[in-house]
């Protein structure tokens, strides 16, 4: 076994070991789950520096084609990795995320690092303070690799001001948005896990289209301090990762009460890892008929979800069909409430509207003239929809739907100028029901189309019961091999 001496440190009996060449090369490290990588770091078999270098080398090699990153913070990442290396060697291991390389959506404020919100309007925006989720990641010892591409202002699912990220499963396909770079980077092994932000489905859609696990936590579970707002009554930060366990590990670090965000909850954060028992015997799962059998769900998607339901039954879950009538109107309700976005960006809309991308500009202009009565009606309908969702949880533990009605779509320009283009602007609406209800919802891979594009299964739970959602998602994941497949880039 070969050893190396930690930089600027006198050799001691506790040194990191370099993997034997016949066991693993440094270039293999990005393909480990962060749960595996974390364990190897804790046991001093892999250095955070080795892992960070491996990810940075992979970013250098591939991101020119994928466009997942807006900013790569290589120098800062290596500095943080060296600090983590020293701390672990000295016995100061901070926890599961210590030394793990991560990346975050460029909507999330980072001190001293460009934060664009996906728009050239903010091309010179260098915050002086970290968002709370960044503070939490740093406190856990995570290593920040950089800032990830996104749709402009996170208020559109497909339109980008920067070169749009390519889906690692098919480079001519979209990753979905708005956390598009988060999906591309995680699926292409350009980071261990990523933070996105989910308003109407902006974590779950990229997770579904990129073959990942991605969760929108309960509204208030994670602080939004320092996160550029989109639709403030719905915006929620959440992680994307390659496994449910990795997703749970990342969420645990960023969750909790924050005095800087008055909407953050003081609800205790449980041990999410402990919930991954591998058993769901006796749990009740409700299939939402309005969402599984909706016209927007292609048959190939529906069949994969039906197959997933059969697997869950075999694992011991009790499965029933139920109805949430207003789920069929979630898109219209969402549209009425999203007038919050043009109000948030009102000054830009008035003074710099020509700099806002077409898709957003049209949406904002329409929203700006929407009568107050329509917004009020949207709020009332949202309340009724939430009541229906919560009532459904009176008889089941989990609500199950497809994450998306279609697989990853072809990249198209903004605006779509080809009359033959088949881009749908509403593939994320199946996720919107749970955004409006502000309950936790997880997307996990449940199959592939005939064209080898990922399909997502959506699992929603009661408020603050992310543990139950993770438990079901993990059990399904362990019974299948969809999450083990890798895109060929």
Active-site amino acid positions:
105, 178, 202
Q: What is the residue-wise DSSP string for 434-463? A: HHHHT--EEEEEEEE-TTS-EEEEEEE-ST
Residues 208-220: b if buried by 16+ CB within 10 A, e if exposed: bbbbbbbbbbbbb
Inter-axis angle of helices 34-42 and 244-254, nearest 10: 70
- Cα separation, 126 vs 196, in Å, equals 19
Is the CB of residue 179 less than 8 Å from the CB of residue 203? yes
Q: What SS3 class is residue 360?
A: helix
Is the CB of residue 430 less than 8 Å from the CB of residue 206? no
The closest of 184, 111, 110 to 147, measured between CA atoms, is 110
- Cα separation, 436 vs 415, in Å, equals 27
- Cα separation, 383 vs 203, in Å, equals 23
- Cα separation, 315 vs 312, in Å, equals 5
* Phi, psi dihedral angles at 398 (to 5 degrees): -140, 140
């Amino acid at each position: 076994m070969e050893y190396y001496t930690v930089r600027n440190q006198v050799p001691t009996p506790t040194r990191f070991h370099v993997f034997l060449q016949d066991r693993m090369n440094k270039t293999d490290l990005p393909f480990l789950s962060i749960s595996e990588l974390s364990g190897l770091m804790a046991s001093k078999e892999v250095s955070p520096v080795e892992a960070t270098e491996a990810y940075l080398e992979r970013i250098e090699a591939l991101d020119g084609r994928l466009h997942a990153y807006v900013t790569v913070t290589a120098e800062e990442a290596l500095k943080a990795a060296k600090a983590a290396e020293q701390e672990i060697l000295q016995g100061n291991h901070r926890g599961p995320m210590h030394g793990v390389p991560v990346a975050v959506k460029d909507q999330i404020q980072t001190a001293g690092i460009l934060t664009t919100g996906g728009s050239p309007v903010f091309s010179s925006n260098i915050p002086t303070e970290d968002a709370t989720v960044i503070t939490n990641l740093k406190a856990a010892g995570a290593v920040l690799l950089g800032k990830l591409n996104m749709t402009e202002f996170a208020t559109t699912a497909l339109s980008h001001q920067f070169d749009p990220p390519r889906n690692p499963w098919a480079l001519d396909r979209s990753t979905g948005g708005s956390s598009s770079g988060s999906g591309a980077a995680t699926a292409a092994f350009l980071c261990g896990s990523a933070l996105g932000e989910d308003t109407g489905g902006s974590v779950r859609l990229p997770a579904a289209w990129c073959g990942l696990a991605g969760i929108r936590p309960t509204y208030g579970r994670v602080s939004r301090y320092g996160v550029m707002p989109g639709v403030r009554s719905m915006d929620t930060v959440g992680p994307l990762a390659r496994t449910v366990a990795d997703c749970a590990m990342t969420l645990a670090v960023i969750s909790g009460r924050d005095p800087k965000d008055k909407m953050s909850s003081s609800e205790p954060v449980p041990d999410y890892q402990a919930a991954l028992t591998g058993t769901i015997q006796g749990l009740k799962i409700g299939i939402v008929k309005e969402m599984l059998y909706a016209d927007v769900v292609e048959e190939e998607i529906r069949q994969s979800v039906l197959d997933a339901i059969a697997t869950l039954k075999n694992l011991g879950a009790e499965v029933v069909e139920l109805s949430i009538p207003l789920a069929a109107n979630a898109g219209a309700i969402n549209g009425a409430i999203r007038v919050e976005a043009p109000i948030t960006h009102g000054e830009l809309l008035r003074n710099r509207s020509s700099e806002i991308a077409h898709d957003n500009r049209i949406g904002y202009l329409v929203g700006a003239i929407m009568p107050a009565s329509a917004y009020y009606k949207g709020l009332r309908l949202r309340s009724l929809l939430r009541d229906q969702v919560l009532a459904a949880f009176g008889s089941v533990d989990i609500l199950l739907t497809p994450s998306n009605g279609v697989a990853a779509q072809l990249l198209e320009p903004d605006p779509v100028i080809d009359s033959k283009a088949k881009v749908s602007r509403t593939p994320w609406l199946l996720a919107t029901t749970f955004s409006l209800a502000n309950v936790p919802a997880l997307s996990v891979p449940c199959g592939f189309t005939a064209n080898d594009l990922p399909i997502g299964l959506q699992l929603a739970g009661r408020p603050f019961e992310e543990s139950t959602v993770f438990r079901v998602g993990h059990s399904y994941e362990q019974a299948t091999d969809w999450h083990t497949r890798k895109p060929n880039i």
